[in-house]
């Protein structure tokens, strides 16, 4: 199943910068592992915001929930999920 996910990050200012750096490094490693596995197919930064749009290709809602709740920045995020299905006019074979 494909999902579009918008993630808006809001890290409280009272967290020490070195702690934030550790969390962000863990987030990067986790997301890159998921990208390499094919589960996190695309990620785009939203210009001017600490936010992104991503496309996930996972088995079901539960798998997506497990992935998202495992993000090190999860507790600092507002997440919006949109399920996607293949458009009947699509000419691409790899978008299902």
- For residue 21, being part of any structural domain is answered with yes
Query: Three-state DSSP class for 81?
Result: strand
> What's the structural domain count of the chain?
1
At 31 the pLDDT is 98
Residue 91 domain flag:
no
pTM above 0.95, yes or no: no
pLDDT of residue 73: 98
Judge whether 15 lies within some domain: yes
Average pLDDT, the chain: 95
CATH of the domain at 19: 3.30.70.1060
Asked if the structure places residue 92 within a domain, the reply is: no
| Spatial separation of the C-alpha atoms in residues 96 and 92, rounded to whole Å | 9
Give the integer Cα–Cα distance in Å for 56 and 94.
13
| DSSP label of 50 | S
Residue-range definition of the domain harbouring residue 30: 2-84
Chain segment 34-73, per-residue pLDDT in tens:
999 999 999 999 999 999 999 999 999 999 999 999 999 9
Residue 89 placed within a domain: no
Q: Within a domain: residue 45? A: yes
Quote the radius of gyration of the chain (alpha carbons, Å): 15
pLDDT confidence band for 95 (50 / 70 / 90): low
Whether 93 is in a domain gets the answer no
High-pLDDT (> 90) share of the chain, %: 88
């Amino acid at each position: 199943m494909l999902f579009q996910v918008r993630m808006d990050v809001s890290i409280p200012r009272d967290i020490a910068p070195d702690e934030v750096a550790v969390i962000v490094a863990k987030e990067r490693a986790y997301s890159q592992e998921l990208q390499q596995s094919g589960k996190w197919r695309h990620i785009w930064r939203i210009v001017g915001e600490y936010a992104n749009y991503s496309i996930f290709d996972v088995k079901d809602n539960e798998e997506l929930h497990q992935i998202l709740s495992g993000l090190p920045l999860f507790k600092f995020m507002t997440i919006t999920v949109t399920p996607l299905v293949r458009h009947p006019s699509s000419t691409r074979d790899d978008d299902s």
